[in-house]
């Protein structure tokens, strides 16, 4: 029963009881005039009382003749006396009556029950709001999907850039939703489910909404985590309710974001299962088997962790098609920037390709954030338009962190940082094939960065040779090598560089088979994920001997030592440039690409 209907019934019952009670009181007070007990005794002594009815607390009676004010009946509160003897003395008819207490007893039971029920409903509603249950306890099994009708979506493929291949895959879904009859003439059927996979921020949710906007159909959007609650069976009920609503509005699109929260593999819980999640997943599998795609119902889902999904979800007949929505390449970044740059006022000489060249690895969400940060920086300096310098400073803020103006370094620390950063830049400028240095600075940023060196790739790279990896290691070790040459001591400033160098060297030995002694063998399986970070490589059980493990450690150490000695030799040969560059950096705190080329030009 609908919640509003239930409340209306309770309101009606309470109103009826209140009206009945008030009516009884009104009748009594209107027909019988109350008198004091002493007046009743006077009427009794004067012989004016004809008969009375004695209740538990009151005495109601009739007079032999009306009083001057027209009263013929009276009622008084009973006072304990020898009443029967007095009545017999004055020849008054009297009888006891049974007072009806049904209404009072009923109200005595109903009103407390209603009060407690109201308190319970209020508490459950507050609990439901805190737990995110939406409409309250009575609607806990209802789907929480947000429904966007045709006019609400307002997103088309024109708003999605940089993922042309994914858009082409989804065009077929749009055409099917517009003209479903054309797809059955040769016996083909549209995929029941389309899974969008890719890193965070690449536009998976935006693509799903664009499909609904292009097809002009209702769009049901819900997160996988919203199916799972503390009560077992709630998630399965919500899945059923969601598909019932979607069938009623077909043709429609059902979009489940973060599918991994709902569809995690059922053997992923050691020591027993998770009943609620497994029941919800089972119900989703049943619903996907049960609906007919010819009705115009399409299921879209998105995840950035496809490796943990249950195999039953990914089999043919459920999510038939998987569409990769990856980070854009340089051309894709240019297209994305053109979409977002329409919203800001740009300088006349601004070229999106310049920004795209500075942002390798940025996702669509990162680029949108970059444009907004650059516009904010231009606004703060009271500029009329956003220029390349604003975008450069915005990139530094996103990549390196917020500038720490209050973090003051002493003179020795500033010299160490200056030589460290100049060592990185000089090695990068000296090795062939290295990414050009865009900017170096000794201004502290972020949590622990006392300085930074930004390199700008000239093109997107997908393969790297052994020599290129060795050059990358040399650039990372340039800072420590410079400290060792100039100060003849080591500092903690190269901790992050050493971590990156070690990862590269270990990958060369264990995953890429780049050590001649160990051969073309992979000693570590790669488990790529879209989330990156520590989850990029899963630690698996070692399947090689202790002797091999020792050889791996020796090979990793040898690669790093060779790279370090090579870097030291290069910096020693260019010690004069290193000194001049460090002095310029101490003086100006920041050097850009043109300044660095000028330093190299004076040395050549």
Residue 180 CA neighbour count, 13 Å, CB half: 16
Secondary structure (3-state) at 395 = helix
Task: Enumerate long-range contacts of 529-534, CB under 8 Å, 24 or more apart.
Answer: 529/304, 529/305, 529/307, 530/197, 530/198, 530/199, 530/200, 530/304, 530/305, 530/306, 531/199, 531/200, 531/304, 531/305, 532/199
Q: What is the DSSP letter of 523?
A: S
Residues carrying an active site annotation: 421
Find the DSSP H helices in 132-261.
Answer: 150-153, 164-178, 204-215, 234-248
Q: Burial level of 419, CB count in 10 A (0-12/13-18/19+)?
A: buried
- The strands making up 297-303's β-sheet, listed across from edge to edge, are 146-148, 219-223, 252-257, 297-303, 193-197, 321-324
Token pair recorded at residue 126: 């507050």
Residue 543 CA to residue 539 CA, distance in Å, equals 12
Residues 6 or more apart whose CB falls under 8 angstroms from that of 3 comprise 135, 136, 138, 139
Encoding tokens for residue 548? 């091999």
Helix, strand or coil, per DSSP, at residue 439: strand
Judge contact between 422 and 497, C-beta under 8 A.
no
- φ, ψ of residue 219 in degrees (nearest 5): -130, 115
Q: Using an 8 Å Cβ cutoff, are 68 and 87 in contact?
A: no
The SS3 call for residue 101 is coil
DSSP letters for 309-321: B-HHHHSTTTS-E
- CA 419 – CA 451 distance, rounded (Å): 10
- Give helix 102-131 / helix 3-31 axis angle, nearest 10°: 150
Structure tokens belonging to residue 197? 């996979």
Helices (H) then strands (E): counts for the chain: 21, 14
**Length, in residues, of the chain:** 604
Tokens of 470: 């060795």
* Burial per residue of 11-33, b for 16 or more beta-carbon CB atoms within 10 angstroms, e otherwise: eeeeeebeeeeeeeeeeeeeebe
Residue 333 vs residues 11, 170, 352, 384, 390: alpha-carbon distances, Å: 61, 20, 9, 25, 18
First to last CA, the chain: 86
């Amino acid at each position: 029963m609908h919640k509003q209907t239930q409340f209306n019934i309770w309101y009606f019952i309470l109103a009826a009881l209140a009206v009945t009670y008030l009516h009884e009181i009104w009748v009594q007070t209107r027909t019988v005039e109350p008198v004091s007990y002493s007046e009743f005794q006077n009427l009794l002594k004067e012989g004016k009382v004809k008969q009375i009815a004695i209740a538990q607390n009151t005495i109601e009676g009739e007079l032999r003749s009306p009083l001057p004010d027209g009263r013929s009946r009276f009622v008084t509160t009973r006072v304990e006396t020898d009443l029967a003897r007095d009545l017999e003395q004055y020849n008054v008819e009297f009888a006891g009556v049974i007072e009806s207490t049904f209404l009072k007893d009923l109200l005595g039971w109903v009103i407390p029950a209603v009060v407690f029920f109201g308190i319970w409903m209020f508490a459950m509603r507050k609990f439901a709001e805190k737990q995110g249950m939406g409409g309250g306890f009575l609607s806990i099994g209802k789907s929480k999907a947000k429904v966007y009708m045709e006019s609400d979506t307002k997103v088309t493929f024109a708003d999605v850039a940089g993922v042309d291949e994914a858009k082409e895959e989804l065009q077929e879904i749009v055409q099917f939703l517009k003209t479903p009859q054309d797809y059955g003439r040769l016996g083909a059927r549209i995929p029941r489910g389309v899974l969008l996979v890719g890193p965070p921020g690449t536009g998976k949710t935006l693509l799903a909404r664009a499909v609904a906007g292009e097809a002009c159909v209702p769009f049901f959007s819900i997160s996988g985590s919203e199916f799972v609650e503390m009560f077992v069976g709630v998630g399965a009920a919500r899945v059923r309710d969601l598909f019932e609503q979607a069938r009623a509005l077909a043709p429609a699109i059902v979009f489940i974001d973060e599918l991994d929260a709902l569809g995690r593999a059922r053997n992923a819980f050691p020591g027993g299962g998770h009943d609620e999640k497994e029941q919800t997943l089972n119900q989703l599998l049943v619903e996907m088997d049960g609906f007919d795609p010819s009705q115009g119902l399409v299921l879209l889902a998105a995840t950035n962790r496809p490796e943990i999904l249950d195999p039953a979800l990914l089999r043919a007949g459920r999510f038939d098609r998987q569409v990769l929505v990856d980070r854009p390449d340089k051309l894709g970044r240019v297209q994305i920037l053109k979409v977002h740059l329409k919203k800001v006022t740009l300088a006349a000489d601004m070229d999106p390709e310049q920004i795209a060249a500075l942002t390798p690895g940025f996702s669509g969400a990162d680029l949108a954030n970059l444009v907004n940060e650059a516009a904010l920086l231009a606004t703060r300096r009271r500029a009329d338009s956003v220029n390349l310098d604003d975008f450069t400073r915005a990139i530094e803020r996103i990549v390196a962190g917020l500038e720490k103006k209050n973090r003051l370094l002493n003179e020795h620390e500033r010299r160490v940082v200056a030589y460290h950063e100049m060592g990185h830049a000089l090695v990068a400028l000296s090795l062939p094939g290295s990414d050009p240095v865009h900017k170096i600075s000794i201004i502290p940023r972020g949590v622990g960065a006392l300085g930074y060196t930004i390199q700008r790739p000239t093109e997107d790279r997908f393969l790297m040779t052994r020599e290129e990896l060795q050059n990358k290691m040399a650039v990372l070790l340039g800072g420590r090598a410079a400290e060792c040459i100039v100060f003849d001591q080591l500092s903690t400033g190269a901790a992050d560089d050493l971590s990156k160098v070690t990862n590269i060297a270990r990958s060369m030995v264990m995953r890429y088979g780049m050590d001649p002694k160990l051969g073309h063998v992979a000693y570590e399986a790669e488990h790529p994920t879209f989330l990156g970070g520590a989850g990029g490589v899963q630690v698996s059980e070692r399947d090689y001997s202790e002797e091999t493990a020792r050889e791996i450690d020796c090979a990793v150490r040898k690669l790093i030592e060779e790279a370090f000695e090579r870097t030291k030799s290069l910096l020693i040969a260019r010690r004069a440039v290193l000194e001049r560059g460090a002095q310029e950096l101490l003086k100006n705190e920041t050097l850009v690409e043109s300044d660095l080329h000028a330093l190299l030009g004076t040395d050549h």
